[in-house]
Structure 1
């Protein structure tokens, strides 16, 4: 009996599942990684808390090459669950959920 084919299929399915983008259901729609801040705010409203880290600058005040604006937004609690969103240069790159 050949066990190689089922193992390859199981491995491929696991890889596909881990590659899927995270999403968050809000009152006015679903947001996913890759959405911009405006889309997220329109669908989820104002975050409960937000912080902004500006890009690094050189001695002349110019942005250092490769640096970015990073924002962290928090929503919740909703049924004890907090949602943490991270944006890089205005694009949603990470959605994390934690129960306190």
Structure 2
């Protein structure tokens, strides 16, 4: 009766896969944004009952970037600034 919990993560190819390890970052699949699991913006939307149906999880930041997601401007301000600068070059 000691069943392992299975987590559904998004891989670098953008496809879902099952993992026995939880993700370290969350994201929004429609907006293609990733951020911390404790992001105040995401938590506000989740509390309102929004966002949850589009919520995805990533093993790490490299995977989120490879899958085509950008950093959140609220919880990852410095990473977002770097992304924005690179995007505009």
Per the normalisation by structure 2, the TM-score is 0.23
| Structure with larger Rg | 1
Instruction: Looking at secondary structure, tell me which structure has more helix per residue.
Output: 2
Higher relative contact order (CA 8 A, sep 6+): 2
Instruction: Looking at secondary structure, tell me which structure has more strand per residue.
Output: 1
